[in-house]
Amino acid sequence: MQDSQSSSSLTMIVLCVCVFLLPACFSHPLAGWVSSPGHPGGYEPHSEMMWERCAPAGHILTLSIIHLDLEESYQCENDAVKVFADSLLLKTLCGSMSTEQLQSRVNPSLHSSPGGCLSLTFEADFSNTERHTGFRAFYTVQDVDECWHSDLKCSHFCQNYIGGYSCSCKPGYHLSEDRHTCIVNCTEERFGSGVLTPPGSPGPYYENAHCSYTLTVDEGEQLILSFIGEFDVESRDGRCVDSLTIKTDSATFGPFCGQEAPAPINTAARRIKVLFRTDQGGTNQGFSLSYNTKLMECPGIVTANSILSPQKRVYTKGDTVTVQCVTGYSVDSATKKTFESTCLRSGKWSPVYSCELVDCGIPEIKEPDLIALTEEDPLTTYKQNISFRCLSEHYKLHGHDSFTCNASGQWETIEHLLSPQVDLPRCIPVCGMNKQPFSAGRVFGGEDAKLGQIPWQLLTKQPNRGGASLISDRWAITAAHVVVGQETKTLMFYGGMIDGLDQNAVKMETEKIIIHPGYKVENPHQTNYDNDIALVRMSARVPLSTNIMPVCLPEKSNGPVMEAKLGTVSGFGGTSKNPLRSRYLQYGHVKEYSEVPCFDTTLKVTDNMFCAGGDEGVDTCKGDSGGPLIIPVLGRGSQETPYRLKGIVSWGPAECGDKNFKGYYTKVENYLDWIRETMETN
């Protein structure tokens, strides 16, 4: 027993001497014994214990079991000793094993990770059939050789020391911030002429090189670069592994690699940077870059998308050129096409302006509620096209619908038929179209019209009851005698209905009432209906629909006004049931009569009037004045032959419906110029 204690003390002294360099702050012993309770005299039933130690950084903790004598049981379920490394179970032991068995089968696996911990537990159950001595083990703290076992490898040299390791580099290298990689940081500034080679030359250039050379010459001079001798910069599969790049303030040359030397470079700069980057391996030989000086030259281009005049091979200090933007480009988006620029001593042109693509811009649309661009965000630069569309089916495009941006920054028609400054198209109401239900109604004594059948028919009730025809979305036309004396007043017109009492009718207030200047009123009684025509401008755009739409104006004709066709006249005037007025819109078919006069009258009949009437008493009556007479006859209109306004109900005999007498109508085609001019100027 005394020999065993002496041996243990001696071992501890030797270990302490071997590890005296470990940090003093490590609080546990660096070596020692651990054994079961009562060892070697034997452990009692229900014995248990726990032991744990941790290694300092850069060290591991090892455990060597030199004696094991426990109760043998299935899967060590009775008495057992368990060893853990960082809470991970390494071994569960029971029974008896010799020293040789322990040394070969168990002890090699009983160690912690670097800086990790070992723990041990022992538990005995309630009884043993014979007495067992237990176990005894010896633990030590050992240094780790990171140079062999660490994943953090040094790129050049590794030096191990107790508790850690360090990296070092070959001459010409230094450690990067990661303290493992050896790099070359070859930053250098040079002036004048010379030859530049990479670090390590002659011979293979250094790995992990991050070289940045700044080359500078006097103002008024520029650097000329050429590669001399061998050029060998690592590449793989056509891609640069290592690279050489040359940069000026305005240009970049490279990256260069491989074995074919780049062509000479006229840098057009007095200051350049040469950047050389390499990876961690390779035995390539590098390059030799000769840099020399020559007088500064200005480049053969001042700005993109332009041409110079005069054209010269070389431009030097003091040369002045005229810079002209190519077709479709202008100076800074303006209409200016040229500017002058002078070559400076620095090798730069001054002044320099950009030649930018001409942009015609989005044209201003005056009626955005009616017309819009076909595309929401179209391209508007040189040679780009735009087109327009109407937003409502009740309008059609008038004028050219497609335009091209020309070189002057103006929109022009694709056909180039008009001058570059072209008026934009307009959306004008579709005229002369209706719903087509048809019946043989009559005005005086006739039947009711259907809704949408005569959508241009308007009605005014005060102060004089009369009709009118819508001829655009802002204008109506009527007889002058219906609105005479009301020119300074606001009247109300109704449309989009067939019932004169319809509360849902479209209401239109007048903004202007313009009576033909040739219409004369002779007091006390009207004796002349010549020029019985007036235009009415509404205060707001009329909301067009299938129930309210304009009628087309007529075309001039050389023959009969109604072109020997039947026409249709309509209105809310007197009927056979009520000679004063009708609640519902009536219509009837009439034809033109060439006999003059249509009835015995003292009133003057002029060429601005024509006579029309129908068979069996079809006629207009009081309250129909100002209403429309259209051709073709109602029910025969189409896209090809829209309904046109040929006449305005003007005057007739005192008694309505006499088949022997006809009525007079204002001949609308005589007033087309006045109508269009009045609408355009008002």
Going by C-beta distance under 8 Å and a sequence separation of 6 or more, which residues neighbour residue 396? 390, 427, 428, 429, 430
Selection from 317, 301, 335 nearest residue 309 by Cα: 301
Going by C-beta distance under 8 Å and a sequence separation of 6 or more, which residues neighbour residue 180? 152, 153, 154, 155, 167
Does 600 show up as a binding residue in the annotation?
no
Would residue 532 show up in a list of annotated catalytic residues for this protein?
yes
Does 473 show up as a binding residue in the annotation?
no
- How far is Cα 528 from Cα 606, in angstroms, rounded to an integer? 9
Does 144 show up as a binding residue in the annotation?
yes
Name the one residue in this structure whose structure tokens are 């229900």: 46
Does 484 show up as a binding residue in the annotation?
no
Does 71 show up as a binding residue in the annotation?
yes
Does 218 show up as a binding residue in the annotation?
no
Going by C-beta distance under 8 Å and a sequence separation of 6 or more, which residues neighbour residue 413? 400, 402, 403, 404, 422
- How far is Cα 48 from Cα 119, in angstroms, rounded to an integer? 14
Does 165 show up as a binding residue in the annotation?
no
How far apart, in Å, are the Cα atoms of 230 and each of 233, 246, 279, 285, 287? 10, 18, 20, 8, 6
Q: Which of 243, 306, 472, 625 is catalytic?
A: 625
Going by C-beta distance under 8 Å and a sequence separation of 6 or more, which residues neighbour residue 374? 386, 387, 388, 389
Tokens of 137: 């083990």
Q: Which three-class secondary structure string do you get for 8-73?
A: HHHHHHHHHHHCCCCCCCCCCCCEEEEECCCCCCCCCCCCEEEEEEECCCCEEEEEEEEEEECCCC
Q: Which of 400, 481, 516, 589 is catalytic?
A: 481
Would residue 673 show up in a list of annotated catalytic residues for this protein?
no
Name the one residue in this structure whose structure tokens are 């509404």: 538
- How far is Cα 460 from Cα 340, in angstroms, rounded to an integer? 70
How far apart, in Å, are the Cα atoms of 129 and each of 29, 37, 92? 37, 18, 21
Backbone angles phi, psi at 17, to 5 degrees: -65, -40
Tokens of 231: 């050029």
Does 188 show up as a binding residue in the annotation?
no
- How far is Cα 563 from Cα 554, in angstroms, rounded to an integer? 11
Does 127 show up as a binding residue in the annotation?
yes
Going by C-beta distance under 8 Å and a sequence separation of 6 or more, which residues neighbour residue 353? 303, 323, 331, 332, 339
Tokens of 67: 């004696």
Residues in the chain: 682
The DSSP call for residue 106 is I
Q: Which of 232, 530, 532, 619 is catalytic?
A: 532
SS3 state of residue 615: helix
Name the burial class of residue 209, with classes exposed (0-12), middle (13-18) and buried (19+) by CB atoms within 10 angstroms of its CB: buried
Selection from 283, 214, 211, 202 nearest residue 243 by Cα: 211
Strands 466-470 and 320-325, by their bridges, are unpaired
Would residue 354 show up in a list of annotated catalytic residues for this protein?
no
Does 401 show up as a binding residue in the annotation?
no
Helix residue ranges, H only, 537-590: none
Does 3 show up as a binding residue in the annotation?
no
Return the exposure string of 495-527: e unless at least 16 CB atoms fall within 10 Å of the residue's CB, then b: bbbbebeeeebbebebeebbbbeebeeeeeeee
Query: Which residues are known binding-site members for Ca(2+)?
Result: 71, 79, 125, 127, 143-144, 146, 160-161, 164, 234, 242, 279
Which residues are designated catalytic?
481, 532, 625
Numbered residues of the known binding site:
71, 79, 125, 127, 143-144, 146, 160-161, 164, 234, 242, 279
